[in-house]
Every structure is written in structure tokens, then in C-alpha cells.
Amino acid sequence: MSRAGLSLDRLGGVIAILIAAAIILGPFSIYRANRIASGDARGIMFALPSAFAIGLMVLSMAIALVSAFVRALAARLAAAAFGMIAVFVAMGRSADFLTPAGNSFARVSPAWGFWLLSFAFALLVADALTRLRFGPWERLAALAVAAITLALLLGSGAWNNVSILKEYATRADSFWREARQHIVLALGSLSASVLVGIPLGILCHRIPAIKSAVLQTLNVIQTIPSIALFGMLMAPLAYLAATFPLAATLGIHGIGAAPAFVALFLYSLLPVVANTVVGLDQVSPKVIDAARGMGLSSRQRLQQVEFPLAFPTILTGIRIVLVQNIGLATVAALIGGGGFGTFVFQGAGQTALDLVLLGAIPTVLLAFAGAVILDALVDLAKGARA
């Protein structure tokens, strides 16, 4: 690999082409007279005040050049992060610019030029981060910086005229209620599956006779489509609520969060149990022999030797479950279980993209943040073991 300052980076070249396509060909925002009217796409020059538009184009071209020719990773990362912030600020500015004063029906939403530009910058950020080979703490710090930047951007009101936030403004209360519900569903079922799954995994490891039966049953559960499992659980839970008043007072009903919670719990069991078994099976017999030689009892061996050694693998299972649960919890909305899926399905029903995005974007961000955090924890656990 040449270390020359200026040589063509082929991946960066592709990203530069994406950036150029986004600003030259792509409409930057879409103006609509109301939330479901058909839109009128505007290129950058017509979506922003001229000075701002020219500034954004010059900046984007500069970043494209950095992407194609500059090898220094820190410079690439800084340019991409700066571009990302600029394109988001520009979107907010475009919404202010295009919305007629005092008109509360008009909607300005991002068009594909905006999305492509953001995607290109995100690729550049991702590429720089990948090549920098950040350790777990640095990755967590990067996530925190990104989260704080996003919070500042949204908190500052810069995006208040953008259609997605207009959808949010009319639903601010229900948004946070559904957000809490989504997190409770995803994390609550995850905790339950960890509490049940790890002991079950240990049992499977100790008693090989039940191992294949348990794992196969859990495998079959995973193949049941989510809406079907949610639906199937409605019947027994409705029966439970009708038969035992206590169940009903505990909030167990046929319709609502209870079947969703149980279904997510059942889906979560397989990765937790399977990874516990794999993790424990991987512990070398020599290590266990040595522990036995040191006079450790079976229970002490499990607590002090086997479990700590298997922990990173178990954590990997938990990471799979976390991401899977955050995604699947959207389906809960179909059976009245709430969560971000409420907006997703409402929006799909009305073909209102902004409303879909109001549900989908937080879900994706949550899942992404969960994946980054758990990946970092897995690396830390591996490091602690080594």
C-alpha cells in the first residue's frame, strides 16, 4: 500500500461519486401542501436560500475530494462527521425556507438527494471508524458523541419544520408512551429470557440427554412467524385472565402487551440457551480437570471457572436477542401491544411515510445503539478473560 498523501482511494472514489450524484441529480427536499398530498421535489438550489445552497454544495464537493484522495483516517472521519452535521442542519433550514409563514398544513420532507448524501457521509464515517479499529471504550465514546449531537440538533429546534418532527409534535405524548412500552417489551422479555435461559443452558450442558430436545423445541418456536405466535398466545392469556382474577389485576390480558411479552420471551430463549450451552461446551476439559485438582466443588467450578469462561459467548447471545427483540417488538402493535410499531403500521395504512419513519427511525437507532453497546461489552468481557 503506498503511503503517498494523494493517491486515489477506490472506495473513497465510489463514495465521492455518490456525493456528487446526490447534490447534482438528487432532489433535496419535497414540498407538499398537506401531509398526504403528492409532493413537489426541489433540488438543492431551490430547496435552500442561495448562499446556504452554494455553501452546502461546495462543502460536499470538498468532502468528496477528501474521500477520494486523502488517506489520513482522522481527516476523513472529521470531514465526514462535519458533512453529516451540515447536511442535517441544511435539511432543517430547507424546511424553514420552504414552509410558508403561518401555514401549519404544509409539509417539507427529506427527498432522496438528502438520504443519499447522508448515506454517503455515513459510509465515509463507517469506513473511517472500521479502519481506525477502535477499541470498545472508544466505540462507546463515539456512540455517546453521536447521541449527544443528535439530541442537540433535535433539541435546538432546527428540525422543527421537518415533516417527521411535525408528525412527532402532534403525537409527543403518545410517542414517549410508545417508546417506554417498546423498551419495556424488548428489555423486559430479554431479562426474563436471561433469568430462565442461562439456568436452562447450564442444565442442558450438564444433562446431555435433554440438550437436543430443548434446543430443537426452541428452534421450532423460532420458525413460527411473529404475528402468529403473538396471536396464538392471545387465547391462553385471555383464558387465564378470565379464570384467575389475580392474573387480570396483574395486567395479563388476551389483547395487549402480555402476549407480545411472552412471545418475545419465547423467541429470546433460543439464542440465550444455545449460546450458554456452546460457551460451556467450549471450556477445555483440561481447565476443568485443573479446577477439580485444586479441590473446587462442582458448584465452585461452575461459578469460578466455567461460567466466567463462557461469559463472552453468552453475552453474544444476549446481543442477538437484544437486536432481535427491538425489531420484533414493532410487531406487537398489531395485537394492541403498543411500541413504535403503532406508528409504523398506522403510517403504512395511511401511506404516510413521515409517520412510518417516526416509528421506524427510533427503532433502528435503538437497535443500532444496543448492538454497539453489547458488541463493546462482548469485547470487554473477552479482554477481561484474556
Q: Which residues make up the interface to another protein (CB under 8 A)?
A: 9-11, 14, 123, 126-127, 129-131, 219-220, 222-229, 231-232, 234-235, 323, 326-328, 330-331, 334-335, 341, 344-345, 347-348, 351-353, 356-357, 359-360, 363-364, 367-368, 370-371
Residue with smaller CB distance to another protein, 20 or 348: 348
What cell was used for 375?
458488541
CA distance 13 to 123: 12
In whole angstroms, the minimum distance from the beta carbon of 49 to another protein comes to 29
What cell was used for 338?
403498543
In whole angstroms, the minimum distance from the beta carbon of 51 to another protein comes to 32
In whole angstroms, the minimum distance from the beta carbon of 290 to another protein comes to 31
State the amino acid at position 338 in one-letter form. G
**Does residue 56 contact residue 150 with C-beta atoms inside 8 Å?**
no
H-run or E-run covering 31: strand 27-32
Residue with smaller CB distance to another protein, 43 or 231: 231
Residue with smaller CB distance to another protein, 32 or 42: 32
Residue with smaller CB distance to another protein, 126 or 145: 126
CA distance 47 to 95: 8
CB atoms within 10 A of CB 267: 21
In whole angstroms, the minimum distance from the beta carbon of 331 to another protein comes to 6
**Does residue 267 contact residue 221 with C-beta atoms inside 8 Å?**
yes
H-run or E-run covering 297: none
In whole angstroms, the minimum distance from the beta carbon of 57 to another protein comes to 25
Residue with smaller CB distance to another protein, 191 or 350: 350
In whole angstroms, the minimum distance from the beta carbon of 296 to another protein comes to 37
Residue with smaller CB distance to another protein, 202 or 262: 262
Grid look-up 442561495 returns: 50
User: Nearest Cα to 323, choosing from 367, 260, 275?
Assistant: 367
- Cα distances (Å, whole numbers) of residue 112 to 44, 65, 91: 11, 22, 12
Residue with smaller CB distance to another protein, 127 or 306: 127
What cell was used for 122?
455515513
**Does residue 336 contact residue 251 with C-beta atoms inside 8 Å?**
no
In whole angstroms, the minimum distance from the beta carbon of 220 to another protein comes to 6
Sheet strand arrangement including 107-110: 40-43, 27-32, 107-110
Residue with smaller CB distance to another protein, 331 or 381: 331
Render 100-143 in DSSP notation, one character per residue.
Answer: PTT-SS-EEEE-HHHHHHHHHHHHHHHHHHHHHT--HHHHHHHH
In whole angstroms, the minimum distance from the beta carbon of 334 to another protein comes to 7
CA distance 77 to 12: 12
In whole angstroms, the minimum distance from the beta carbon of 386 to another protein comes to 23
* Contacts of residue 107, Cβ cutoff 8 Å, sequence gap at least 6: 31, 32, 34, 35, 163, 166, 354
* Contacts of residue 125, Cβ cutoff 8 Å, sequence gap at least 6: 77, 80, 81, 84
Residue with smaller CB distance to another protein, 249 or 351: 351
